[in-house]
Amino acid sequence: MRFLGFLLRRIVGIAAVMIGVSVITFAISHIIPADPVAAALGDHATDAQIAQFRAEYHLDRPLPEQYFIYATGILHGDLGKSIRTRRSVADDLADSFPATLELSFAALLISIVLGVPAGVWSAVSRGRLPDYVVRVLSLAGGSLPVFWLGLIVIGLFYYQLGWFPGGGRLDTFVPPPPTRTGLYVLDSIFAGNLEALRSSLVHLVLPAITLGYFSTALVARMTRSSMLDVLGQDYMRTARAKGLREPVIVLRHALRNALIPTITIIGLTFGSLLSGAVLTETIFSWPGLGRYATASAVSLDFPAVLGVTLLAAVVYPVANLVVDVAYYWLDPRIQHG
Amino acid sequence: MGKRTPILREPLNVVALALITAFAVCAVLAPLLAPYDPLAQTLSSRLEPPSATHWLGTDSLGRDIASRILYGARISLIVGVVVVALAGVFGTFVGLIAGYAGGLADEALMRFTEVFLAFPPLILAMAIAGALGPSLTNAIIAIAAVTWAVYARLARGQLLSLRRREYVEAARSIGASPGRILGRHLLPNAIAPLLVQASFDMGAAIIAAAGLSFIGFGAQPPTPEWGVMISEGRNFISTQPWLSLFPGLAILFAVGAFNVLGDGLRDVFDPRLRRAG
């Protein structure tokens, strides 16, 4: 019961934040010096064309009414029509979001698979070479511009070594698998299409490493510091005194407890992956939300920019909610009262 | 030991402070240090690899990359300082007001702050910079707009923990005004975590501004800004990688130094965290 109450409160909280988010994005895109009409129609549009355009996008109405139209639309799943693509923004987002999701999941997977062991290794060899290596690498991860890393990675692994493709989601001559999730890796597995699976996996490698380096560094740092914390606890000494072997102590006793703060970081990271995805997708011609956002912002396509911002702002609190729920099950000491 | 750990005891912190000093010196003295005019095009010596005449090579218009990086330090330092000043002052102000006022004002201000924390920073900054029009000034405004909320939350948290301290009660009982209590008693004691955050945000602002410039929403060519330089080198990554390599390294070292400094400051202010490193 208490869990349901907690969940309900959090969902109401998210809804409140979403109202605020929609007001702010709306304000940004409407109280702006830039003129979307001129951007969409060019300098040679006739007065009639301009009037029709303004009516079509409700730009001729007072601002509060425009917001009301927009907010009512959102509740019906209607995010307006993109000025640039001339399609429904919701459709555009539905098309590009899976690509971003696939990339973000791959990056997240990398950060867990590499970050957690690196953090553990660093903690158990504190003050020795492996510790320094991991710390320097994770420091670099927090200080690298992701777009620069992407370029360097393409220069090295695509142009110089030719190991991986430098952009896109599939080879030119490989048709995409039938859409079920929009995630090419999963869809190829469902379709039993090995060629598409191979192609989508190799195309994921470089962008996922680029996007995932930052979060890997964060996860490694967090795991290291919480492992050090746990390794200094009394029950660790007890475990040693009982004569347990070191790997058992580290993995069974220490890591389990140290993982809790790491899970928080992983949740928080998921939100930041979306920001990173904007730049990563631009570099790797990855047809996701980030590239859509950039193209829309360049052409002052405000319904599209609004849609992306709104969707991105939902992902973050929802990811946090998932983390809190995971917490709730993992750590019985936590009381969300 | 009992005493505060001096920040200079850790060798990495010394390196970071040296880098930040070097970065500031380059920024201030760029006109004296730069061997060439950062905008001067010498088409006869375009795309030259690093050499004695051009330490870091030249770009596709024959401009000296080392000189452009030195001038770029100036832009990045200004971006960092202005963003942190704008966001820090505004955010701290909101946080202090919320924490001090309490009640409905606190609730309203904190919900407002939370909304800003929900946005992925770069996407919101891009929307703002796109709306205002692409320029370095607008990029700075956009980055400050996505940065301030953290300070509001930190300042409020500090204030709530300090509000009931005896010295605050004492000041109140002798009739000190709210402004005086906030400014003279609460803020100086709440400043430590804000300074730590400021150090991290110097780095974050430099990266964000470079990122916005890279995709065209920040500084515009031919400005010698590091993100613009990486973008200009993009098409030459397979043949003349130094065009993008060196400005990226400049960002890496500048941001890394501020991050290490942030870690160091946190250790000094909060010795409990030292063990975790």
Chain A, 191 to 230: residues with Cβ < 8 Å from chain B are 224-226, 228-229
More confident residue, A94 or A62: A94
Of A126-130, A156-160, A234-238, the range with the lowest mean pLDDT is A234-238
Residues of B in contact with A312 (CB under 8 A): 119-120, 123
Tell me how far apart the alpha carbons of residues A99 and A287 are, in angstroms, rounded to a whole number. Answer: 7
Do residue B207 and residue A145 have CB atoms under 8 angstroms apart?
A: yes
What pLDDT, in 10s, does the model give residues B19-45? Answer: 999 999 999 999 999 999 999 999 998
A264-276 burial, b at 16+ Cβ within 10 Å, e below that, comes to bbbbbbbbbbbbb
ipTM value for the complex: 0.89
The set of residues, in sequence order, having a beta carbon less than 8 Å from that of B136 and lying 6+ positions away, is: B75, B79, B209, B213, B218, B219, B220, B223, B225
Residue B169 domain flag: yes
More confident residue, B79 or B166: B79
Residues of A in contact with B133 (CB under 8 A): 33-34
Region for B133 from its dihedrals, namely left if φ exceeds 0, alpha if ψ lies in -120 to 50, beta otherwise: left
More confident residue, B222 or A62: B222
Is pLDDT of A105 > 60?
Answer: yes
DSSP conformational letter for A156: I
Of A5-9, A260-264, B228-232, B235-239, the range with the lowest mean pLDDT is A260-264
What pLDDT, in 10s, does the model give residues A239-285? Answer: 888 888 888 888 877 887 788 777 777 777 777 787 788 899 999 99
Domain limits for position B159:
7-26+65-273
Do residue B127 and residue A29 have CB atoms under 8 angstroms apart?
A: yes
Residue B48 domain flag: no
Residue B20 domain flag: yes
Residue B44 domain flag: no
Q: What are phi and psi of B28, to 5 degrees?
A: -75, -40
More confident residue, A34 or B48: B48
Radius of gyration of chain B (CA): 22
What are B58's strand-pairing partners? Answer: B64
Tell me how far apart the alpha carbons of residues A71 and B192 are, in angstroms, rounded to a whole number. Answer: 41
Tell me how far apart the alpha carbons of residues B220 and B135 are, in angstroms, rounded to a whole number. Answer: 7
- What number is the average pLDDT over the span A331-337? 55
Percent of chain B with pLDDT over 90: 59
State the pLDDT confidence band at A303, using cuts at 50, 70 and 90.
confident
Query: Quick check: B244 contacting A, CB < 8 Å?
Result: yes
Q: Which amino acid is at B92?
A: T
pTM exceeds 0.90 for this model: no
Helix (H, G, I), strand (E, B) or coil at A88: strand
The HSE-up count of residue A112 (CA atoms within 13 Å, CB side) is 14
- What number is the average pLDDT over the span B169-179? 86
| Structural domains counted in chain B | 1
State the pLDDT confidence band at B272, using cuts at 50, 70 and 90.
low
Percent of chain A with pLDDT over 90: 36
What pLDDT, in 10s, does the model give residues A72-94? Answer: 888 888 888 898 899 999 999 99
**Cis bond before residue A175 (omega within 30° of 0):** no
Query: Quick check: B277 contacting A, CB < 8 Å?
Result: yes
Cβ burial of A48 (10 Å; 0-12, 13-18, 19+) is exposed
- What number is the average pLDDT over the span B52-81? 94
Tell me how far apart the alpha carbons of residues B208 and B25 are, in angstroms, rounded to a whole number. Answer: 22
Is pLDDT of B89 > 70?
Answer: yes
pLDDT score, position B79: 96
DSSP assignment string, B84-135: HHHHHHHHHHHHHHHHHH-HHHHHHHHHHHHHHHHS-HHHHHHHHHHHH-SS
Who among B116, B127, B248 is closest to A145 (CB)? B248
pLDDT score, position B129: 83
Residue B83 domain flag: yes
Tell me how far apart the alpha carbons of residues A177 and B116 are, in angstroms, rounded to a whole number. Answer: 38
- Looking at CA atoms only, how far is residue B94 from chain A in angstroms? 17
Do residue A148 and residue B230 have CB atoms under 8 angstroms apart?
A: yes
pLDDT score, position B21: 96
More confident residue, B73 or B111: B73
Of A192-201, A237-246, B88-97, the range with the lowest mean pLDDT is A237-246
CATH of the domain at B127: 1.10.3720.10
- Looking at CA atoms only, how far is residue A192 from chain B in angstroms? 36
- What number is the average pLDDT over the span A288-299? 88
What pLDDT, in 10s, does the model give residues B208-218? Answer: 999 999 999 99
State the pLDDT confidence band at A35, using cuts at 50, 70 and 90.
low
Pick from B158, B148, B157: nearest CA to B189: B158
Chain A, 89 to 108: residues with Cβ < 8 Å from chain B are none
Residue B16 domain flag: yes
pLDDT score, position A83: 85
Is pLDDT of A316 > 80?
Answer: no
Q: How many CB pairs under 8 A join A and B?
A: 157
More confident residue, A281 or B272: A281
More confident residue, B106 or B9: B106
- What number is the average pLDDT over the span A327-333? 67
Tell me how far apart the alpha carbons of residues B25 and B20 are, in angstroms, rounded to a whole number. Answer: 9
Residues of B in contact with A278 (CB under 8 A): 122-123, 126, 215
pLDDT score, position A336: 46
pLDDT score, position B277: 41
Chain A, 38 to 77: residues with Cβ < 8 Å from chain B are none
The set of residues, in sequence order, having a beta carbon less than 8 Å from that of B59 and lying 6+ positions away, is: B46, B47, B65, B68, B229, B232, B233, B243
Residue B52 domain flag: no
Query: Quick check: B251 contacting A, CB < 8 Å?
Result: yes
State the pLDDT confidence band at B123, using cuts at 50, 70 and 90.
confident
Who among B123, B128, B211 is closest to A145 (CB)? B211
Who among B127, B244, B251 is closest to A151 (CB)? B244
Tell me how far apart the alpha carbons of residues A228 and A262 are, in angstroms, rounded to a whole number. Answer: 13
- For chain A, the first-to-last Cα distance in angstroms comes to 11
- What number is the average pLDDT over the span B203-209? 95
Residue B1 domain flag: no
- What number is the average pLDDT over the span A235-242? 82
